[in-house]
A and B are shown apart, each in its own frame.
Chain A
Amino acid sequence: MSTTTSSPRRARDKGPSGWLAAPALVFFLVFAIIPLIGVVALSFTRWDGLGEIQVDGFSSWKTVLTDPVTGNALWVTAKIMFFSFIVQAPISLLLGVFTAGGQKYRAALAVLYFIPLLLSSAAVAIAYKALLDPNFGLGPGLGLPFLAQDWLGNSDLVLFVVVFVIAWQFVPFHTLIYQGGVRQIPASFYEAAQIDGAGRVQQFLHITLPQLKYTIITSSTLMVVGSLAYFDLVFVLTGGGPGYTTRLLPLHMYLTGFKANDMGAASALGVILVVIGLGLALLLQRLGGRNRNASQLEGA
């Protein structure tokens, strides 16, 4: 932070013009701030998407906050967030460290790992839906009874199936982030550690992990806040069912708005989603410590 306390004039001469941020700010204003204001306003109205918008005070909020489905959607979202994180974070960290190595076979494997990144969520969901079909899917097709479960229709299983498919799609992305992070760590650290007699595991725990602190924060923020936006994949895969077992908050918002055509309640849910997302992002940034400009490379 200390560098920015110098005179504004000098800062301007040194860095690029603040105007370069203008296009991004315009986009942010037009596609994020203005719609957000609109959503807050709509949450105090009654509107079926077709007729007149009627101001209706807090009644949409009352509907949303007293509806047990909202509480359930929050709980499902929290579960998906938690399980997604504890599944994805270790796998992508280890894969990232592994693929950061220079060996040829690792580069070849990395290409395979990154394939899911090329696929759209809808395509992933449709493919898994076909594979997991209890009557025509992979299990019955190959004659493997243990694979012929009712994966997407069993209330006890479906949440974990969803977590698995989400992980299958997003682990490659986080692996890529970690791979980049690991490659930034100077080799001299590891050389020094080897001279001091540190083994592989010790090197990982005492050099790689601490050096990846900010990468971990970035990746975790994306994972946690991103799990508030899982919509397309779950919508295509389960439609929120069976019952309400996978009806995530964003999905609940969509179904309330565009299936039940209650735009007021859907907007209130949207506001809740924004508040939770912002809160979590801020919290995770705090966990990283205030002084973000501190060097990670002391002693390099």
Chain B
Amino acid sequence: MHMNIRKLRSAAMAVSAAALTISLAACGSSGPAGSGTNADSATMWGLTGGNQPVLQKSVDAWNKAHSDETIKLDFFANDAYKTKVRTAVGAGQGPTFIYGWGGGVLKSYVDAGQVADLSDFVKQNPEVKSRYLPAVLKNGVINGKTYALPNNNVQPVVLYFNKDVFAKVGVQPPKTWDELMALVPKFKDAGIAPFSLGGQSKWPDLMWLEYLVERIGGPQVFADIAANKPNAWSNPAVTEALTKIQQLVDAGGFVNGFSSIAADSNADQALLYTGKAAMILQGGWIYQGMKKDAPDFVKSGKLGFSTFPTVSGGKGDPADVVGNPSNFWSISSKATDKQKKAALDYVKSGMFTDQNTQDLIDSGAVPVVTGIESKLAASPDKDFLTYVYGMAKNAPSFTLSWDQALSPAQGDAMLANLDQIFLKKITPEQFVSTMNATIGK
């Protein structure tokens, strides 16, 4: 009898210990509930950074006006988010609103049946479709069906420069690749790094490859790669672009220690506005970051911007653009009907309200909607905003960032191998053959 009680007690202890762990784990995943939200609220995961306050304000306003269709909003850092959301969605714990970039990553969600088909919603609500810049919408369309709708601002990759530094050295921003290469020794002699680069984050490296391939070979080169055509990486434009990158590395074009600089900490932009680097090739979103971190630099007009230089003999249109046409909301197909309804209602009438559009513009971003020219012109950031708007609107081709356009496996291999190119650990030929082997994966 004595033994049995003891057994019973230890078994009970084991059960309660297990229960405790499970409840602790449950606490960990649910987190503190936002004000006015409850268990059947729609959930939304956003990114920290430039658009965070704008999105927070939009959702707060929505929740205040729609107490029966509330949205619970959490924010994550970019790189951490990309991992977390995929794991969560795979485990059936994803949010109602899935934040994304379109392209190959969206396709993998579609193939797995994780995101809802929004085609009918778009058909029934023509005003939703008509508010967007048409070129942006297509990145949310997979196999002719709409799975994602743009939710913020257009983000082309822009060549930024520090006007002070250019005046000090007495040179002009480069219009061609040859001019760019000629600038390198001039800045180096003045003790200034020609280009800042957040090489540790790897994706800033990619902007160089994207624009060079675009300028040399035109948009078809990457379209073939994205379409998984055999040996598509063997296009001579890719090899030439990689060779040019390595020539620029050899010439000392990138800031000392670029491979340990992380773009997530904004250290790459800091080099530009502190005058330690003359130029940086980065996404449209860093304008928001610099406006916040270096307001005097931006306000006094010392920040210059331009498009990527042309390459002599290149087939690409100089007006072609690469970058992120926008970010997107997809709606989880696993959400409850109530959550889905709340999500669609928000997409329909909570996003791009006059206030939301104005907030985006005030943050230094160009919303992906039509008819905002007068608002942009009235902004203190009008020079940059109208420039970006024109760039996106007039681009004959707007190629989505390759790491988002390709499947995750290809994108990861590409970034790892491009890093090796910048470090000169591999040759362009090795890059091409390694990447050809990933086609279809």
Cα A155 to Cα B424 with chains together (Å): 11
Query: Would B257 and A260 count as touching, CB distance under 8 A?
Result: no
Report which residue of B11, B111, B257, B270 has the largest number of chain A beta carbons within 10 angstroms of its beta carbon.
B257
List the B side residues contacting A258 at CB < 8 Å: 83, 86-87
Q: Are A153 and B200 in contact, CB atoms less than 8 angstroms apart? A: yes
Instruction: Decide if A261 touches B408 in the complex (CB within 8 Å).
Output: yes
One digit per residue, 1 when the CB lies within 8 angstroms of any chain B CB and 0 when it does not, for chain A 225-259 equals 00000000000001101111000000000010011
A35-48 vs B, Cβ < 8 Å mask (1 yes, 0 no): 00000000000001
Cross-chain contact B200 with A26 (CB below 8 angstroms): no
Secondary structure of the B side of the interface? helix
Report A-chain residues with C-beta under 8 Å of the C-beta of B111. Answer: 50-51
Complex Cα gap A69–B258 (Å): 23
Interface residues of A in 145-164 (CB under 8 A from B): 150-153, 155, 158
How many A-B contacts are there with CB distance less than 8 Å?
Answer: 122
The residue of chain B having its C-beta at the shortest distance from the C-beta of A20 within the complex is B10
Chain A residues near B412 (CB-CB < 8 A): 255, 259-261
> Would A150 and B87 be within 8 Å (CB), given that A135-B276, A243-B420, A261-B409 are in contact?
no
Selected contact of A135 from candidates B89, B202, B255, B408, CB within 8 Å: B255
Give the contact stretch, choosing among B12-20, B117-125, B363-371, B380-388.
B12-20
Residues of B with C-beta under 8 A to A48: 108, 112, 408-409
Does any Cβ of A come within 8 Å of B154's Cβ? no
From B259-267, B302-310, B340-348, the one touching the partner chain is B259-267
CA–CA, A84 and B270, complex, Å = 34
Q: Kindly provide the distance from the CB of B261 to the nearest chain A CB, expressed in whole angstroms.
A: 7
Identify which of residues 242-299 in chain A touch chain B, using a CB-to-CB cut-off of 8 Å. Answer: 242-244, 255, 258-262
Q: How far is the CA of A255 from the CA of B412 in the complex (A)?
A: 9
The yes or no answer to A23 lying at the interface (CB within 8 A) is yes
CA distance A19 to B90 in the complex (A): 37
- Chain B nearest CB from A241 CB (Å) reads 6
Q: Is B223 an interface residue (CB 8 A)?
A: no
How would residues 408 to 430 of chain B score, 1 for a CB under 8 Å from any chain A CB and 0 otherwise?
11001100100110010100000
**Roughly how many angstroms separate A186 CA and B87 CA in the complex, as a whole number?**
54
Alpha-carbon separation in the docked complex, A262 to B261 (Å): 27
Known: A48-B108, A51-B112, A153-B199. A259 touches B13 (CB 8 A): no
Expressed in whole angstroms, the Cα–Cα distance for A26 and B201 within the complex equals 41
Q: Is A96 an interface residue (CB 8 A)?
A: no
Instruction: Say whether B114 faces chain A, with CB atoms less than 8 Å apart.
Output: yes
Chain B residues within an 8 Å CB radius of A6? none
When C-beta atoms are compared, the residue in chain B nearest to A23 turns out to be B14
Establish whether residues A23 and B13, one from each chain, have CB atoms under 8 Å apart when the complex forms. yes
Separation of A87 and B90 alpha carbons in the complex (Å): 42
Question: Do B256 and A134 touch (CB < 8 A)?
Answer: yes
**Chain A residues near B423 (CB-CB < 8 A):** 155, 242-243
| Chain A: CB-nearest residue to B105 | A261
Measured in the bound complex, the distance between the Cα atoms of B14 and A17 in whole Å is 14
Say whether, besides A48-B108, A50-B90, A135 and B267 are in contact (CB < 8 Å): yes
* B14 and A134 form a contact (CB under 8 A): no
Which A residues are CB-close (under 8 A) to B256? 134-135, 150
A27 to B200: give the CA distance in the assembly, Å. Answer: 38
CB neighbours (8 Å) of A152 from chain B are 200, 257, 259-260
**B271 at interface by CB-CB < 8 Å:** yes
A153 and B258 within 8 A (CB) = yes
Q: How far is the CA of A17 from the CA of B202 in the complex (A)?
A: 56
Residues of the A chain whose Cβ atoms lie less than 8 Å from the Cβ of B86? 49-50, 258, 261
**How far, in angstroms, from A20 to B109 measured CA to CA in the complex?**
46
Cα distance A52–B89 when bound, in Å? Answer: 13
* A262, B407: Cα distance in complex, Å: 11
Q: Is B57's CB within 8 Å of the partner chain A? A: no
Tell yes or no: A1 within 8 A of B by CB: no
Q: A17 contacts which chain B residues (CB < 8 A)?
A: 6-7, 10
- Decide: B267 and A136 in contact? CB cutoff 8 A: yes
Q: With A50-B89, A153-B258, A153-B260 as known contacts, state yes or no: A19 contacts B409, CB within 8 Å.
A: no
Beyond A49-B90, A50-B86, 16 extra complex contacts between A and B, CB < 8 Å: A19-B10, A22-B14, A27-B18, A27-B21, A48-B112, A49-B86, A69-B416, A150-B260, A153-B200, A153-B259, A158-B260, A255-B412, A259-B83, A259-B408, A261-B108, A261-B409
The 8 closest A-B pairs by CB, nearest first: A134-B257, A153-B260, A152-B260, A153-B259, A50-B112, A150-B257, A260-B412, A51-B112
| Between-chain CB contacts (< 8 Å), 15 pairs | A23-B13, A27-B17, A48-B108, A50-B109, A50-B114, A51-B108, A69-B416, A152-B259, A153-B199, A155-B423, A241-B200, A242-B260, A243-B419, A243-B425, A258-B87
